Chains A and B, each alone.
Chain A
Amino acid sequence: CQKDLDQTPKYEPTPDKVYVNLAAYKSVLGKLYGGFALTSLGGANGDSDIKGIDGGTGNYLRQLWSAQELTTDEAVVAWNDPGIQDWHNMNWDANNPLLRGLYNRAYYEISLCNELIRESSDDKLTSRLPSGDVAEAKRYRAEARFLRAVSYMHVIDLFGGGPFVTEANEVGVAAPPYNTRQQLYAFVESELLALKSELAPARGNEFGRVDQAAASGMLARLYLNAEVYSGTPQYAKAATEAQAVINSGYSLVTQASSASSAYGRNFLADNNLAPASNEIIWSILLDATRTTTYGGTTFLVNGSTNGASAGWQRYVGQTTGWGGMRATRALFDKFFLLGADTTVDRRGRFWTRGQTLEINDQSQFTQGVGVTKYRNINSDGSLIVGSQNFSSVDFPMLRLSDMMLIYAEAAARGAAARATGLEYVNKVRRRAFGLNINAPSAAADITDAQMTTDFILDERARELHWEAQRRTDLVRHGKFTSASYLWPWKGGVAAGRAVGDFRNLFPLPTSDLTANPNLKQNTGY
């Protein structure tokens, strides 16, 4: 009877029963990629991977987006969920449940990646798989390292330093050591540099999985912010990596469709297909019936409409408006610079009917302009099949125009060729204006003199707004906390105000400070 005390699960396989073939390795890889999209193994309504926060709320993309956008001029939110108003009011503290959720998501992803890397050691691969499959499995391992590097980059960007765990750490409850921001930066840099050769060649991987261009793209972003992260600027390296991506075979979408501008096709339900898939280097995949979540782009589509307007609902392709996010006029106004407006610059897609431009009360959805960037419809205007409660829009994590603007910013900072940078900016703008990207345009083009770092920051807002980059951009330009740039309700007052510079970093959650005595809280918290 003592033997009966060793019970093993019937339906939940143990690791030795999981990794039996290449397909099994790939299904775990799907969980790793899905870590950014999904909240559970049961889809939108399953038990959340992350405990202590509502499943949908704790979605990786949803909280990453919130940390990067709700804290800035690009977005406010109407809801009353605990901690959610702290984002825009910039008064978050170390007990904020949403920050805790985001932090836990990032480290959950790191742990998942470590697990697959650990189970993919050369020894294990050769003993478990036919020799013909080992090379492909090693590629999975490289992709796991890439995803881990991305999550560590989020830690670096949002929290500075943090716990450091790799595949060398056993699964348990022991407290990992603390690494500083510089240490994590060095780790991520070395990983991405190595992955530039270990991943599939650019455009040589299956859709949805990353290639060498993605590694270069992430490196470009790491180097762009190197001064903030490590204290040493690396704009020239950023330009080099961006250039590598630009040369790698990806191309801007230049063809408008019946329902969308060329630019807008990057944010539609069929953006998993060409031409959008030629511009997007890596996206988080979502599907209204097969990859469901109350976070992800479902949050971006449903959260930014309120259901009061049938026209608006039809335009963005959903039936359940949650009445949450809108933009402040600071974003809206950026489309009216240099003689442009939202009819000329087709990136500025806002819903204004029934909305006010000014915000007196952030909790009123009708105050602030609606953003209709993400639309759960296909390029030809048809609705997606199945439930309109979930979105099929994939979320672009790396996009070619971002790389072009990174190069331009490096050029504006004197670390890359200005003429090349200017040409990249203008291509991006010509596309935005619906013009031939290779033909100079008086309306769209800027001059060399106009290509300042401030201009690039604004251009990034126009091109990349609501793509979860804004906070990082503002921090890099010294405008996130300072009085040099104010937006409505910055710091919780209508006119905007400066907040302490320590808010350039979020605090480590107190829950982890309690669990892990090795950690060091960021200054100011």
Chain B
Amino acid sequence: QAQTGTISGRVTDGKNEGIPGATVLIEGTSLGSSSNVDGTYSIQNVPAGPQTVVISFVGYNSVRRPVTVVAGQNAEVSASLAENTTQLSEAVVVGYGTQRRQDITGAVATVDSRQFVQGQVTNSDQLIQGKVAGVSITTSGGAPGAPSTVRIRGNSSLNANSDPLYVIDGVPVDKNEIKGVSNPLTLINPSDIETFTVLKDASATAIYGNRASGGVILITTKRGLKGEKLRVELNSQLGVSTVARRYESLSAGEFRDLVTANGAPAQIATLGTANTNWQNEIFRTAATYDNTVSLIGSVAKVPFRVSYGNLYQEGIVITNKLKRNTGSISLSPMLLDDHLRIDINAKGSVLDNRFANYDQIGIAAFFDPTQPVRASEAQFGRYGGYFQFLGPTGGPLGNAPGNPVAALNNVNDISTVKRLIGNVQFDYKVHGVDGLRANLNLGLDISRSKGSKDISPADFGGYNKDAPNNPGLNGSYTQSSVQDKDMNLLEAYLAYGKQFGGTKFDIQGGYAYQTFVDQGPNFLTYRSNRTTLVNPDAKLTVPGFYNKYVLVSYFSRATVNVQDKYLLTATLRNDRTSRFRNGYNSGWFPALGLAWRVKGESFLKDNTTISELKLRAGYGRTGQQEIGGAYDTQPRYALGNSEAQYLFGNAATGFIVGPLGYNAVLTWETTNTLNAGLDLGFLDNRLTATVDVYERKASDLLVEVNVPAGSNLVNRLNANQGTLRNRGIELGLNYGVIRSENLNWDVNLNGAYNVNKITSLGLQDASFPGVQLGDIGGGTGNQIQIRSVGFPTDAFYVRQQVYGPDGRPVEGVYVDRNGNGTTTDDFYRYKQPSPLVTLGFSSNVTYKKLFLAFTLRSNLGNYVYNANAADRGTYANAQASTLFVNNLSPDVRNTGFTRQQLFSDYYVQNASFLRCQNISLGYNVGKVLGASSLRITGNVQNPFIITKYKGVEPEINGGIDRNFYPVARTYTLGIALGI
């Protein structure tokens, strides 16, 4: 009798449900089996001794388990397999429900936690940077918690909010700013997030009609599972950040030589003897700690997850920092024989910020490098020993910049913000009516912010000439950002599904009611002693601010699935907003999506190469009402403050009241989107590809227009005017390049091409070039961009530089484009800041316990106006005044400009780039010291960028490189421990 035993066990997925059909092999033998419907398997006649069991299943990572088989006995080897790619059968969260991926007719992309950008991510939106075709996420710099601009398929509006709608665990949260937080998503702990679902086209988003024109991002947080064993997860990261790119400026020596050679005697006399690199003085190596502990499991059949997170992040600019404490809890009990599912979610956070004034970064780039940071002379004593440019009487020199190091240290601009997002969702499968479901969702999003700005008595800008030596009467203190926001949500719907033969119908209809209140008190500014008003007779004419708006909506959806081959989704939503007046406040948003799942046809059903083939087409309309204040369509008056009095009769006070402009006929902006897509899968979906083409046309654009002079109580008003078009192609590719027992390699490639164009701006006089925008420096009121028909929303509006035979720009000489003999009127529209092409590439390699992942991103065709070089790259800059001089941009050597040439297209520079978003290398230690899993990760964020652009950052939303907070390079060490 051979010495054999058996091996048996159960193969499960992450939800502890059995995986049927998994392959189980004994390595090095021909023995094997596949799992049953419940995931169990059994293999007989296994030779006794040490063996290795290999369990694999398409779409899941393989597992190898060593086992010692004893003759005549059974050895149990059970395994839980982790998914490795997005699967067709997976349930995808869509608006008001879920759908199987294969049933979806719209353009929907999902990114889950395993595909997130690794390393130090403070803002949740950065988790999917570079991961989804057509979703461009641009951070506004390297400050902790700096806001990102998220654009799905380009700018969808002119003046209205183009941000996507975020729906977090079923709560559509407030899109608008919370004072004291640069980015509302900073208040969510990224470690709590499970998946992002991006709804891109109208057939997917129209169910959220009223605020869906910018696309919808559905965020699902992690939760416990029924029957799950209690486990503890601990994630800890330690990071160090440095500045990745700086502004170019001359060194002290170069600057001293230049001024000595070219300056007037009075200017040369202002030079100091120090050698200060001001950017070295304001930038630092910054530390970050980020810890999250979570408890996941199921108690008395109630699955739960609770987590606590704690983040401390220093900015790379001195004094700048952020602290965040987050807590989340989710409970998902099932009651009434599993007919009633209740989802309870609450996410709370407390954020403490100390902000840095970005202007100081620009000032550091041009502050005279021959001056010291600190100076011991007596006249600097009252300025805390910091060097400052002083006037003849010892007060601040007019027009001179303040010492940036002093300014950063002297200003304590802080805020504390608390936010709670929570909801309770009841989903009831109605007893006795098969297929009928009732859903009620009650949610809230509340925030409380408090901020203050304390300017030290020693500050240059806080100088009080009436009491220079009384510290209490210098400097200032303001409570700046006290704001309470309350969003309340009630949604209810009924859904009914029924199958007739091979045809399945689902219909649902519902109602949503959402209110937004934004309120807070106003404050006066006091001197440092906090009792003396800066303006002695200031008083609060208006005690506070209060804005409330209400959205009332009805929505419905029907889906039809014929034999898993022909799919139809139709939605209709009606929204009313209190922003608009009766008669103008109702918007209808229909959508229709059709799909032909070719794979379901008989001729493809058994094809083993092509595992998925689906054609999709959709058309729909979404709406936009997010513009201006809550009451902008009503006649109303505003009270003047203490600085805007008018003193009739030499009276001591004379407060005034004035009417405000309003547009009573303002109504919905609508966007019609046409989308066609193709989903492909090969080799059991080891390779999947998605291609989408789309056209989005926004009409009745909400835009600030010039109203006819005299017709209203203001010269520009928000109105509905013009049309805007975005056209594009998107491609997404996921490929499991290598699948083997020890080595797995997955790549994701995505690309998008989007062309944005204003197609109409209403009636236009031929001589009117368009509304200008995009503030730049170099004088008051200079703007570099324009809105014109036939061009992108923010084309640069510049003059065409003439270059000499040496290739250098000729100062003040421009092309006479209209040939009228003068070039003063020869402005033209040139390029745009938005990229034409965005590309993302992610790679994940695991070899045994080791893994290596990186993400690359590239933008092509984006241009940036190098405002720093334009403003500072002239010799006049070193000759500007007689009592102080400013440093120059070394670009002056390329141009030789003696005067500013602000509108030269020379400064509109190609900012295409390839950026490595992050590289992470990790090791799965596995079971160690009683812990069930341990993973160690090393990470570099922003390790390199390749670009021809010379300014501080090529990836700038809006395309103007001016006082930009440079992006950090961050090295992070992380451990993830499971117990």
**Bound CA–CA A39/B546 (angstroms):** 24
User: Is A515 a contact partner of B713 (Cβ separation < 8 A)?
Assistant: no
On chain B, the residues within 8 Å of A330 by CB distance are none
User: Is B769 a contact partner of A95 (Cβ separation < 8 A)?
Assistant: yes
**Bound CA–CA A104/B715 (angstroms):** 6
Looking at the complex, which of A162-170, A341-349, A370-378, A462-470 is the stretch in contact with chain B? A162-170
On chain B, the residues within 8 Å of A114 by CB distance are 710
**Bound CA–CA A9/B899 (angstroms):** 50
Q: Give, as a whole number of angstroms, the nearest-CB distance from A72 to chain B.
A: 21
**Bound CA–CA A174/B712 (angstroms):** 9
Asked whether any CB of chain A lies closer than 8 Å to the CB of B780, the reply is yes
Asked whether any CB of chain A lies closer than 8 Å to the CB of B658, the reply is yes
Asked whether any CB of chain B lies closer than 8 Å to the CB of A480, the reply is no
Contact with A along B816-851 (1 / 0, CB 8 A): 000000001100000000000000000000000000
On chain A, the residues within 8 Å of B392 by CB distance are 309-310, 313
User: Is A307 a contact partner of B656 (Cβ separation < 8 A)?
Assistant: no
Per the 8 Å Cβ criterion, residues 369-388 of A in contact with B are: 385-388
User: Is A13 a contact partner of B653 (Cβ separation < 8 A)?
Assistant: no
On chain A, the residues within 8 Å of B29 by CB distance are none
Q: Give, as a whole number of angstroms, the nearest-CB distance from B722 to chain A.
A: 12
User: Is A15 a contact partner of B659 (Cβ separation < 8 A)?
Assistant: yes
User: Is B715 a contact partner of A82 (Cβ separation < 8 A)?
Assistant: no
Asked whether any CB of chain B lies closer than 8 Å to the CB of A453, the reply is no
On chain A, the residues within 8 Å of B552 by CB distance are 1-2, 4-5
User: Is A41 a contact partner of B658 (Cβ separation < 8 A)?
Assistant: yes
On chain B, the residues within 8 Å of A12 by CB distance are 631, 636-638, 660
User: Is B657 a contact partner of A31 (Cβ separation < 8 A)?
Assistant: yes
Nearest chain-B residue to A209 (Cβ)? B648
On chain A, the residues within 8 Å of B779 by CB distance are 79-82, 84
Per the 8 Å Cβ criterion, residues 20-62 of A in contact with B are: 24, 26-28, 30-31, 33-34, 37-38, 40-46, 49-54, 56-57
Asked whether any CB of chain A lies closer than 8 Å to the CB of B662, the reply is yes
User: Is B768 a contact partner of A287 (Cβ separation < 8 A)?
Assistant: no
Asked whether any CB of chain A lies closer than 8 Å to the CB of B379, the reply is no
User: Is B644 a contact partner of A514 (Cβ separation < 8 A)?
Assistant: no
User: Is B582 a contact partner of A6 (Cβ separation < 8 A)?
Assistant: yes
Known contacts A9-B546, A42-B643, A209-B648: A290-B900 contact under CB 8 Å: no
User: Is A10 a contact partner of B513 (Cβ separation < 8 A)?
Assistant: no
Q: Give, as a whole number of angstroms, the nearest-CB distance from B15 to chain A.
A: 39
User: Is A176 a contact partner of B708 (Cβ separation < 8 A)?
Assistant: yes
User: Is B634 a contact partner of A27 (Cβ separation < 8 A)?
Assistant: no
Asked whether any CB of chain B lies closer than 8 Å to the CB of A173, the reply is yes
Asked whether any CB of chain B lies closer than 8 Å to the CB of A206, the reply is yes
User: Is B782 a contact partner of A82 (Cβ separation < 8 A)?
Assistant: yes
Looking at the complex, which of B178-186, B315-323, B537-545 is the stretch in contact with chain A? B537-545
Contact with B along A166-193 (1 / 0, CB 8 A): 0001011111100000000000000000
**Bound CA–CA A97/B392 (angstroms):** 36
User: Is B656 a contact partner of A34 (Cβ separation < 8 A)?
Assistant: yes
User: Is A207 a contact partner of B650 (Cβ separation < 8 A)?
Assistant: yes
User: Is A319 a contact partner of B465 (Cβ separation < 8 A)?
Assistant: yes
Asked whether any CB of chain B lies closer than 8 Å to the CB of A351, the reply is no
On chain B, the residues within 8 Å of A209 by CB distance are 648-649
User: Is A33 a contact partner of B399 (Cβ separation < 8 A)?
Assistant: no
Asked whether any CB of chain B lies closer than 8 Å to the CB of A255, the reply is no
Asked whether any CB of chain A lies closer than 8 Å to the CB of B548, the reply is yes
**Pick from A38, A115, A313: contact of B644, CB under 8 Å:** A38
User: Is A8 a contact partner of B634 (Cβ separation < 8 A)?
Assistant: yes
Contact with B along A288-312 (1 / 0, CB 8 A): 0111100000000000001111100
Known contacts A5-B552, A14-B634, A515-B709: A51-B714 contact under CB 8 Å: yes
On chain A, the residues within 8 Å of B719 by CB distance are 173
Q: Give, as a whole number of angstroms, the nearest-CB distance from A499 to chain B.
A: 13
Asked whether any CB of chain A lies closer than 8 Å to the CB of B716, the reply is yes
Asked whether any CB of chain B lies closer than 8 Å to the CB of A272, the reply is yes
Q: Give, as a whole number of angstroms, the nearest-CB distance from A118 to chain B.
A: 10
Asked whether any CB of chain B lies closer than 8 Å to the CB of A355, the reply is no
On chain A, the residues within 8 Å of B253 by CB distance are none
On chain B, the residues within 8 Å of A4 by CB distance are 515, 550, 552, 578
User: Is B647 a contact partner of A285 (Cβ separation < 8 A)?
Assistant: yes
Looking at the complex, which of A123-131, A320-328, A402-410, A415-423 is the stretch in contact with chain B? A320-328
Nearest chain-B residue to A305 (Cβ)? B398
Known contacts A2-B576, A172-B664: A307-B398 contact under CB 8 Å: yes
**Bound CA–CA A33/B645 (angstroms):** 10
Asked whether any CB of chain A lies closer than 8 Å to the CB of B642, the reply is yes
Asked whether any CB of chain B lies closer than 8 Å to the CB of A208, the reply is yes
Asked whether any CB of chain A lies closer than 8 Å to the CB of B740, the reply is no
User: Is B644 a contact partner of A43 (Cβ separation < 8 A)?
Assistant: yes
**Bound CA–CA A79/B465 (angstroms):** 27
**Pick from B635, B644, B765: contact of A40, CB under 8 Å:** B644
**Pick from B715, B769, B783: contact of A50, CB under 8 Å:** B715
Contact with B along A489-525 (1 / 0, CB 8 A): 0000000000000000000001111111100010000
Asked whether any CB of chain A lies closer than 8 Å to the CB of B391, the reply is yes
Q: Give, as a whole number of angstroms, the nearest-CB distance from A33 to chain B.
A: 5
Asked whether any CB of chain A lies closer than 8 Å to the CB of B767, the reply is yes
Looking at the complex, which of B114-122, B132-140, B556-564, B699-707 is the stretch in contact with chain A? B699-707
Contact with A along B706-737 (1 / 0, CB 8 A): 11111111111101000000000000000000
**Pick from A8, A30, A81: contact of B646, CB under 8 Å:** A30
Contact with A along B604-633 (1 / 0, CB 8 A): 000000000000000000000000001100
Asked whether any CB of chain B lies closer than 8 Å to the CB of A93, the reply is yes
**Bound CA–CA A375/B706 (angstroms):** 38
Looking at the complex, which of A105-113, A228-236, A240-248, A434-442 is the stretch in contact with chain B? A105-113
Asked whether any CB of chain B lies closer than 8 Å to the CB of A91, the reply is yes
**Bound CA–CA A139/B218 (angstroms):** 61
Nearest chain-B residue to A58 (Cβ)? B781
**Bound CA–CA A14/B708 (angstroms):** 23
User: Is A291 a contact partner of B645 (Cβ separation < 8 A)?
Assistant: yes
User: Is B543 a contact partner of A11 (Cβ separation < 8 A)?
Assistant: yes
User: Is A385 a contact partner of B466 (Cβ separation < 8 A)?
Assistant: yes
Per the 8 Å Cβ criterion, residues 240-294 of A in contact with B are: 272-273, 285, 287, 289-292
Asked whether any CB of chain B lies closer than 8 Å to the CB of A447, the reply is no
Contact with A along B665-703 (1 / 0, CB 8 A): 100000000000000000000000000000000000000
Asked whether any CB of chain A lies closer than 8 Å to the CB of B524, the reply is no
**Bound CA–CA A103/B714 (angstroms):** 12
Q: Give, as a whole number of angstroms, the nearest-CB distance from A220 to chain B.
A: 25
User: Is B634 a contact partner of A307 (Cβ separation < 8 A)?
Assistant: no
**Pick from B639, B653, B710, B781: contact of A53, CB under 8 Å:** B781
Asked whether any CB of chain B lies closer than 8 Å to the CB of A397, the reply is no
**Pick from A30, A31, A52: contact of B716, CB under 8 Å:** A52
Asked whether any CB of chain B lies closer than 8 Å to the CB of A475, the reply is no
User: Is A512 a contact partner of B713 (Cβ separation < 8 A)?
Assistant: no
**A97, A309, A515 interface centre (most CB from chain B within 10 Å):** A515
**Bound CA–CA A110/B783 (angstroms):** 28
User: Is A43 a contact partner of B546 (Cβ separation < 8 A)?
Assistant: no
User: Is B769 a contact partner of A321 (Cβ separation < 8 A)?
Assistant: no
Contact with B along A347-379 (1 / 0, CB 8 A): 000000000000000010010000000000000
Task: Name 26 A/B residue pairs within 8 A (Cβ), A-sorted.
Answer: A1-B550, A7-B548, A11-B546, A15-B635, A24-B657, A28-B659, A38-B640, A38-B646, A41-B639, A43-B641, A51-B704, A52-B715, A52-B716, A80-B778, A107-B710, A111-B711, A173-B719, A174-B711, A207-B650, A208-B646, A208-B650, A287-B645, A289-B536, A510-B765, A514-B706, A514-B768
> A residues touching B (Cβ–Cβ < 8 Å)?
1-2, 4-15, 18, 24, 26-28, 30-31, 33-34, 37-38, 40-46, 49-54, 56-57, 79-82, 84, 91, 93-95, 97, 103-104, 107-108, 110-112, 114-115, 162-165, 169, 171-176, 206-209, 272-273, 285, 287, 289-292, 306-310, 313, 319-323, 363, 366, 385-388, 510-517, 521
Q: Which 10 pairs across A and B sit closest by C-beta, in order of nearness?
A: A43-B643, A310-B392, A307-B398, A30-B656, A165-B710, A107-B709, A31-B658, A516-B708, A30-B646, A510-B768
| 6 additional contacts (CB under 8 A) given A46-B641, A115-B713, A172-B664 | A33-B646, A95-B768, A163-B709, A165-B710, A176-B710, A385-B466
